[in-house]
A and B are shown apart, each in its own frame.
Chain A
Amino acid sequence: MAEQAQQESTSLSAVVADVATGVALALEGECGSYALSGVLAQDDAVALAAIRVLGADVLAPYALHGGAARGGADETVVRKALAAYPPRADASEVSVWTYRGLVEASRAYLPGGPGGWPPEPPAESEWVRTEPWPRLAHRASQLAALSLPGLAPGLAADLAVRTEDLARGFVRAVRRRDWLQAAGLGRWLARLPDVPETLGLDAGLRYVRRMGDSDARVTLQVTAARRFHGRGA
């Protein structure tokens, strides 16, 4: 049983990395027309789990090219991922927010089916105002997929108030060599106005990309920051 869980874990991380690579390549415009269902090598529960983990980012290429998915295959897999992995009763706020983000992105970028999309669960955002900056930075980095243009405007507005704390978290993450957190924070900072020039965000993002290029999720975050917001080029 434990062996099976370990196998699923390894497999899920690998599939998440594969899908993240496919999305990043699509954002770079290197693989022609994008289709999420084409990026998925498998078509099982692990693939659905990978969609749930990456959240709204699996639809990022549609946000960039301004077009909805061609055909209903993408809609089908996203619906199944949402149905298979709803936030549990004891789910973390990050889990609820990422689920919301995927629903919001699906509504925005995928053609709506007759049944519509599931409702967005209420997500609490008091932590943005109350958490100390290291914890705020860590949590914000986990929600980097919501920094896609137009998604989660309320959360973005709340985070904008704490831009300086996010910038502080970015520097801290770089110093700790936590490239995934640094990339997520850099992506949020790329979206937010009034980022201090003294932060050196562009150079920082380039550095994070170079140092964290072995992690496909880091590459995805940094690529999204550059393609959507023109930072880190």
Chain B
Amino acid sequence: MASQLTAPVGAALAAEVEDLLGSAEPEGIYRDTRECTGILLLAGLLLLSPPTPRPKSVR
């Protein structure tokens, strides 16, 4: 190696190391097919269900 290694570490470089190690996932909306199927099924059942029985009004 050309010269002696030096170990002083800039805070910015240390932070960059942490960023590269634990980078977040790119933003985006990604749906789980099974969850979507469940939500659609639930919505369908709610739409097809008979109306809630209500007490008859007494005049």
Q: Is residue A46 contacting chain B, with contact meaning CB distance below 8 A?
A: yes
Q: Is residue B5 contacting chain A, with contact meaning CB distance below 8 A?
A: yes
Partner of B18, one of A13, A44, A91: A91
Residues of B in contact (CB 8 Å), total 24
Do B16 and A49 touch across chains, with their CB atoms under 8 A apart?
yes
CB-CB under 8 A for A40 and B20, given A8-B10, A49-B13, A83-B7: no
* 19 further contact pairs, Cβ within 8 A, besides A49-B9, A85-B9: A5-B12, A9-B16, A12-B17, A12-B20, A37-B1, A43-B1, A43-B3, A43-B4, A43-B5, A45-B7, A45-B10, A47-B5, A53-B17, A88-B14, A94-B21, A94-B22, A138-B25, A142-B22, A178-B25
Q: How would residues 18 to 57 of chain B score, 1 for a CB under 8 Å from any chain A CB and 0 otherwise?
A: 1011110110101000000000000000000000000000
Do A142 and B21 touch across chains, with their CB atoms under 8 A apart?
yes
Do A53 and B5 touch across chains, with their CB atoms under 8 A apart?
no
Q: Which residues of the partner chain B approach A91 to less than 8 Å between Cβ atoms?
A: 18
Chain B: residues with CB nearer than 8 A to chain A? 1-10, 12-14, 16-18, 20-23, 25-26, 28, 30
Q: Is residue A225 contacting chain B, with contact meaning CB distance below 8 A?
A: no
Do B17 and A49 touch across chains, with their CB atoms under 8 A apart?
yes
Q: Which stretch in A72-80, A121-129, A188-196, A197-205 binds the other chain?
A: A72-80
Task: Give A145 Cβ to nearest chain B Cβ, in Å.
Answer: 10
Q: Which residues of the partner chain B approach A37 to less than 8 Å between Cβ atoms?
A: 1
Task: Give A136 Cβ to nearest chain B Cβ, in Å.
Answer: 12
CB-CB under 8 A for A92 and B13, given A45-B6, A134-B30: no
Q: For window 65-113 of chain A, which residues contact chain B by CB distance below 8 Å? A: 73, 76-77, 80, 83-85, 88, 91-92, 94-95, 98
